[in-house]
Structure 1
Amino acid sequence: MAYSSNVVDAPLFKKIYDLSQVIHTNYIKIPKFYRHTLWQQCASLTLELIRDMVKAYRVFEEERLATLHTMSDNLDLLKVLVRLTKDSQAIQKKPYVEIEMMLQEVGRMLGGWIKSCAK
């Protein structure tokens, strides 16, 4: 991905932004006990992904790969927390499937970016 100051046009940014919207839209639907524990962590991680995406898009190659690996770690943690929320029956199947599909797509795109930077 070439250097640009307009990160909002990047396809990966759009996917992460959409994921964040879905996570935040479902916030009120999560039972209170899980909303203020697991789901709050999910919401925070999506915001960290957005922040790190902006950073990765603007830093030079030397720093970019480390930022992308941080994003990957946060994405993996988010996947685990979303699954835990589903296994705790705090989220319905339909929003879970939607979020899971989005997580997989973000993971594929992020993995591709990491591979292109590692060459």
Structure 2
Amino acid sequence: MIKRWRLSLGTSIEKSILTLLEQIIMAKNAPKPMKAAFLLKASGTLEVLILKIRLLLEKKLVNETRVFQLQSQTQEIGRMLGGWLKSSQSQ
């Protein structure tokens, strides 16, 4: 049961990361009026990713140290996205 949870959640996290990267790249290459829309989508995807990572910890599917590292990395990404979004909306 645990292996199945770990596999399905791991696959879901992988897909979320790839989607997040895709949305960030689209925002980078989008014209200024469209950047905010891609950044909002990326922000939502990041929130879902953070919840999935938290679920890893709650279900004790991975090492706590690794989860805390992932959480700090996602927080940093969130700060960067927030700053970029604020900057794109003020222009």
Counterpart check, 1:63 vs 2:63: no
Bigger drift between 47-56 and 34-43 goes to: 34-43
Matching residue of 1:40? 11
**What displacement does 1:68 show?**
0.2
1:63 Cα shift? Answer: 1.1
Equivalent in 51, 59, 62 of residue 91 of structure 1: 62
**In the TM superposition, what is the alpha-carbon distance from 1:59 to its structure 2 partner?**
0.7
Deviation at 1:47, TM superposition (A): 0.5
Please state whether the residue corresponding to 1:90 is helix, strand or coil: coil
- 1:21-49 Cα deviation digits (max 9, x unpaired): xxxxxxxxxx5212332121111010011
The superposition leaves residues 44-86 of structure 1 with CA deviations (integer Å, 9 ceiling, x where unpaired) of: 0100111111111101011110000000000000000100111
Gaps of 5+ in 2: none
- Secondary structure of 2:19's match? helix
Question: Per residue, is there more helix in 1 or in 2?
Answer: 2
SS in structure 2 at match of 1:36:
helix
- Please provide the CA RMSD for this pair: 1.0
| Unaligned residue ranges in structure 1 (runs of 5+) | 1-30
% identical aligned pairs: 27
Tell me how many residue pairs correspond in the alignment. Answer: 89
Distance in 1 (CA, whole Å) between partners of 2:6 and 2:62 is 10
Amino acid at match of 1:51: E
CA distance in 2, matches of 1:107, 1:99: 12
Structure 1 segments, 4+ long, off by >4 Å, are none
- Calculate the TM-score normalised by the size of structure 2: 0.92
